[in-house]
Amino acid sequence: MSAARDPGEVDLLLALVRHRYGERLTTGQLEALRRGIEAIAEHAAALRAVPLGNADEPLPPFTAFRADE
């Protein structure tokens, strides 16, 4: 994947993970999580690179519900 990533953004996101779970994590695990966050950021950048229009909606899994139907 070639989409660019912002190191500052990755630092901020890693800080969120450290804030939530840091007590459980070793230094090595935090390094692995940084690589995981970088990969997520790359995936997200690849998705954001595709223009979408207002009418581009997800395939609808949700349907309105009535118990008597």
Partner 1 sequence: MNPVFRPLRELGEAVRAGRLSPVTLAETFLERLEKLGPRYNAVVTVTRERALAEARRAEAEIAAGRWRGPLHGIPYGAKDLLATAGGIPTTWGAAPLRAQQFDFDATVIRRLEQAGAVLVAKLAMVELAGGMGYCQPNASFTGPGISPWGPDAWSGGSSSGSGSAVAAGLVPFAIGSETWGSILSPAANCGVTGLRPTYGRVSRHGAMALCWTLDKLGPLALTADDCGLVLDAIAGPDPRDATAVDRPFAYDDAAVAGRRFRFGVIRDVAATAEPAVREAFARSLDVLAKLGTVEDVTLADLPYEAVTRLILMAEAASAFEDMIESGAIAGLTAPEDHFTAYARDTILAKDYIRAQRLRPRVAREADRVLSGLDALVAPGRPAVASPLDREFRSVARGNIADVMGAIGNAAGLPAIAVPNGFTEAGLPTSLQFLGRAWEENTVLAAARAWQSITEHHLQHPNVH
Report the C-alpha gap between 57 and 40 in whole angstroms: 22
Q: Using the rule CB under 8 A, is 58 a contact of partner 1?
A: yes
Q: Using the rule CB under 8 A, is 39 a contact of partner 1?
A: yes
Q: Using the rule CB under 8 A, is 44 a contact of partner 1?
A: yes
Longest dimension (CA), the chain: 55
Residue from 8, 27, 59, 69 that binds partner 1 (CB under 8 A)? 59
Residue from 4, 8, 24, 67 that binds partner 1 (CB under 8 A)? 24
